Structure 1
Amino acid sequence: MVLRVKASALLISLPISLVTLPLQAATFFFNVASTPLLAPSALHHQLKQLAPQATPEALHMAAEALSCADPSAERLAVIDYSLPSSEPRMWVFDLHQNELLFEELVSHGQGSGDALAETFSNTPNSHQTSLGLFRTMNSYYGRNGYSLRLDGLEPEVNDLAFDRAIVIHGADYVSEDFIDQTGRLGRSQGCPAVRADVTYPLINSLKEEQYVFAYYPDEEWLATSTFLNCGTESQLAQR
């Protein structure tokens, strides 16, 4: 938007040296730039257009959470743990470029279930997966190779993720070959592990202040989640 304001309307606030300028040479232009912020419905539509094969409810909840936390976010990963591990259930979106970057297999924790994840927690040493909205941190090299730290944003739901070392990393047990042999992926100690072949590009697309949303139709979490029930106000400012 461009606003044009005549100097004659601003004379009382201008330095004397500027007031002496010829009036016809003193027309000022102010450019006001703003980043478009997507409402939940618009973001949901964008996600559905980019990943029509994803579960609509998972995308809807992801849009609600991200619109609450950071409407101008650039990248978002959505994990749908209502699907079996033998199916692609992780989608990584570039929201600014309107692109689907990855559609991938992703593991769940040993304590969460077999082929299907059914139990989730925030408890240390449970080897269970956590739900909710995470903000990504830095990448690093650890015992699982190239990895990405996650900061859980939801109190009592996933806010112990950093302390539990819940990270995105690559794993040999996340592969089509493993599915062919066992009917499911291998399981982690609670981490969302991905195929070894995509570890570097996927982590690099998400590291440093991006978002991951892990979904499951858990009634208690859906009813009480900080980011699914915030209305139009961001709860992130409270952290």
Structure 2
Amino acid sequence: MAVCAALPFSSFGASLDEQLLDRLSEVAPKIDKVVLKTAINASRCAVSNGVQMPERLAVIDFSLPSSQERLWIFDLEKEELLLRDLVAHGKNSGNFESTAFSNVEGSHQSSIGLFQARESYFGKHGYSLRLDGLEPGINDLARQRAIVIHGADYVNDDWVSKYGRIGRSHGCPAVDNQIVKRVVDNLKGGQLVFKYYPDQEWLHSSGFLKCDNKTLAGKNLKKSG
């Protein structure tokens, strides 16, 4: 990866983080700048604590209703927006909006925080992508819970037109079947996925948001091999 691509998340480049934030905000004017800044800060902290440098970053803003396109995928090297689209939340996280989140298996709720996208596979939903949650107690049971990115026929504009929202998953960030291949191919192999919600307890306790090495418990950070 080019040196310039590594700079935004370097431990010595706070001003470069601001430059990246400004550039990505320009190419994605619909994203909340606070949400994007939080995602960049969490990603930088993860890299400084041993997570591999990402080439791409996905941001999901669960504070938005599911009828709105609330998934963004950025190319960090080229500072470009690759995709913006709809994404589902878990059926027990809310109806039109998601307001409840969980790390518990069987909860059928979405989880928030920083994830690392891992291997692609073909399962019951077709071409899919496994996620590892990087935040202990917040999302680190994602693999055990089978929280993956997959395509779904209930994630599209037709559902929004008919019901005022898209369908809901069992906790997975499901996307439109028409874009799932693009999403998976852009994120597999170690890219970062950041799911945001203004949960005050998480915002004040997350090791990635505070960049507190003791809170991070580095042994839980999973590097790509």
* TM-score normalised by length of structure 1: 0.82
Counterparts of 1:148-227 in structure 2 under 5 Å?
148-227=129-208
Change (3 A) 1:233 1:155: closer
What's the counterpart of residue 37 of structure 1? Answer: 7
Change (3 A) 1:34 1:47: closer
Report the Cα distance in structure 2 between the residues aligned to 1:98 and 1:44, rounded to whole angstroms.
Answer: 9
Report the Cα distance in structure 1 between the residues aligned to 2:196 and 2:57, rounded to whole angstroms.
Answer: 13
Residue 156 of structure 2 aligns to which amino acid in structure 1? S
> How far did 1:163 drift?
0.2
Which of structures 1 and 2 has the bigger CA Rg? 1
> How far did 1:235 drift?
4.8
Contact 1:69 1:234 in 2 (8 A): no
Task: Could you tell me which runs of 5 or more consecutive residues in structure 1 were left unpaired when the two chains were aligned.
Answer: 1-32
Residue 155 of structure 1 aligns to which amino acid in structure 2? P
Q: What is the number of residues matched between the two proteins?
A: 207
> How far did 1:78 drift?
0.1
Task: Could you tell me which runs of 5 or more consecutive residues in structure 2 were left unpaired when the two chains were aligned.
Answer: 9-13, 221-225
Identical amino acids, percent of aligned pairs: 50
Report the Cα distance in structure 1 between the residues aligned to 2:142 and 2:212, rounded to whole angstroms.
Answer: 25
Contact 1:70 1:234 in 2 (8 A): no
Residue 132 of structure 1 aligns to which amino acid in structure 2? G
Contact 2:20 2:79 in 1 (8 A): no
* TM-score normalised by length of structure 2: 0.87
Contact 1:129 1:190 in 2 (8 A): yes
What's the counterpart of residue 41 of structure 2? Answer: 64
> How far did 1:34 drift?
4.5
**Where in structure 1 do 4 or more consecutive aligned residues deviate above 3 Å?**
33-36, 231-238
